Amino acid sequence: MLTLRLYFAQRLTAIIMAPLTLGHLVVMIYAVQDGLSVAEILARTRGSVTWFLFYGSFVLAVAVHAAIGLRVIISEWLGVRGVMLSFFSWAVLVLLLFLGGRAVWMVTLAGGLQ
């Protein structure tokens, strides 16, 4: 189920995400103090190219990583093979890219640059 190229993509996205995840953990632990609100989140992220690039690359990497990871799992545990397996992998990729990309766009650059 995992060919060399898929393996390479899986490890490459993992290496990209390691520092991004650490950063995300720090942001979470910092931001969760005194509770969260929409105003607080937007104040931090709105109009910020830095947060757009940070979370934009995170979404790209995680969409690829999750699509390949779930591909392996459904083939090994549910016995899905062939065309169905490829269809499922691409569907996961597209879904996560769409939802993730939309979310990042909305909390960062949707209202224009600052």
Residues of the shown chain interacting with another protein in the complex, contacts defined by CB under 8 A: 1-8, 11, 14-15, 17-18, 21-22, 24-25, 28-30, 32-33, 35-38, 41-42, 59, 62, 66, 69-70, 72-73, 75-77, 92, 95-96, 99-100, 102-104, 106-107, 110-111
Give the shortest CB-48-to-another protein separation in angstroms: 14
Closest to another protein by CB, 32 or 83: 32
Give the shortest CB-40-to-another protein separation in angstroms: 9
Return the residue matching tokens 């979370």: 55
Closest to another protein by CB, 30 or 114: 30
As a whole number of angstroms, the distance between CA 63 and CA 67 comes to 6
SS (H, E, C) the chain: CCCHHHHHHHHHHHHHHHHHHHHHHHHHHHHCCCCCCHHHHHHHHCCCHHHHHHHHHHHHHHHHHHHHHHHHHHHHHHCCCHHHHHHHHHHHHHHHHHHHHHHHHHHCCCCCCC
Give the shortest CB-102-to-another protein separation in angstroms: 5
Give the shortest CB-69-to-another protein separation in angstroms: 5
